[in-house]
Amino acid sequence: MSTFEHLSCPLDATPLSLNKRSLICARGHTYDLAKTGYINLLPVQNKRSKDPGDSKEMVAARQAFLNQQHYFPIVDQIVKSWPQDNMPSQARIRVLDAGCGEGYYLSQIGKAFSNQKGALERLGLDISKWAVTAASKRDKDVTWIVGSNASLPMPSDRVDVVLCLFGFPVFSEFARVLSKSGLLLLVESGADHLIELRKILYPSIHDYKPTHADGVPHFELVSESTANYSFTLPSQADIQQLLAMTPHIHKASYEGREAVKLLQSITLTADVKLRWYRKTTQETNHV
Ligand SMILES: C[S@@+](CC[C@H](N)C(=O)[O-])C[C@H]1O[C@@H](n2cnc3c(N)ncnc32)[C@H](O)[C@@H]1O
Ligand SMILES: [Zn+2]
């Protein structure tokens, strides 16, 4: 089933309808589907740069890294921690991955729930056209969108779950598009995430500051859990691939990066925090 009818025009917020390979709004703005099936709903005037979001190189590195399943335990913990009263049953549950990257998690989550009675209706959105192009090749059962969390091209009250994994949350927008009592999952690095690599890259490690320690606007915390395990990167090429998908490649010192180049392999800690929230307030304004 097409999920394009859940989208709205980024210029005037009127609903979009599918006509052959284009989406058209009530006022006649037209958006063509790309060859691989995604839709670009990021108007030029909403772009802060010419090529926003992750670059082609970062996307390729992330895809190669994730395809090796080093982060599969995170997928597993997402599925295990999914609040029971929101499991797919008879009804279809609509899930938006806001900042979906190259689509690994949304694709894996779809597989994990595929044998449930109901199914997930999945939408993945990212500001990087490179990420969305890769995602649209990875999984054809998802509606992939180039767009921004700052102004989601969707009507209010449209999805049941928003996922924001290692991303850039915009809580007012997440609350707006979520249905009443809809759920939000935030996944973020914990204190020890990739600590062995960070110790080589930086002269000193700053104290860990927990994010959203005072809660997040429009949401209440439902549950909190952690994925903590170790994994090994067996070659220098694998280590460079991981570096290329993280902000460390830009932030680390020259000496740090040179020291990492000498490694033949490394065993790393993955330390990731998962927090499920439930929407508490109704937000109806379209940004
Ligand atoms: C660290 S990556 C995480 C990607 C994916 N969730 C994952 O875990 O593999 C952050 C992603 O956020 C995207 N991004 C940055 N700003 C964004 C925005 N305003 N709206 C949507 N996505 C954004 C980037 O293009 C990038 O793909
Ligand atoms: Zn329009």
pLDDT confidence band for 1 (50 / 70 / 90): very low
Indicate the CATH number of 4-279 among 3.40.50.150, 3.20.20.80, 3.30.420.10, 3.40.1280.10: 3.40.50.150
State whether the beta carbon of 150 lies less than 6 angstroms from ligand 1. yes
Q: How far apart are CA 67 and CA 101, in angstroms?
A: 13
pLDDT at 106 over 80: yes
CB 275 within 8 A of CB 186: yes
Please identify, by atom number, the ligand 1 atom nearest to the C-alpha of residue 99.
22
Q: What angle do CA 178, 184, 141 make, to 5 degrees?
A: 75
pLDDT confidence band for 285 (50 / 70 / 90): low
Residue 85 is predicted with a pLDDT of 81
State whether the beta carbon of 131 lies less than 6 angstroms from ligand 1. yes
Domain ranges of the chain: 4-279
Strands (E), the chain: 16-19, 22-25, 30-32, 39-40, 93-98, 120-126, 143-146, 159-165, 178-189, 219-233, 266-279
CA of 22 to the centre of ligand 2 (A): 13
Nearest ligand to residue 49 Cα: 1
pLDDT at 12 over 50: yes
pLDDT at 126 over 70: yes
* Mean pLDDT (whole number) for 233-250: 92
pLDDT at 286 over 70: no
State whether the beta carbon of 158 lies less than 6 angstroms from ligand 1. no
Consult the annotation and say whether 101 binds a ligand: no
Residues in the chain: 287
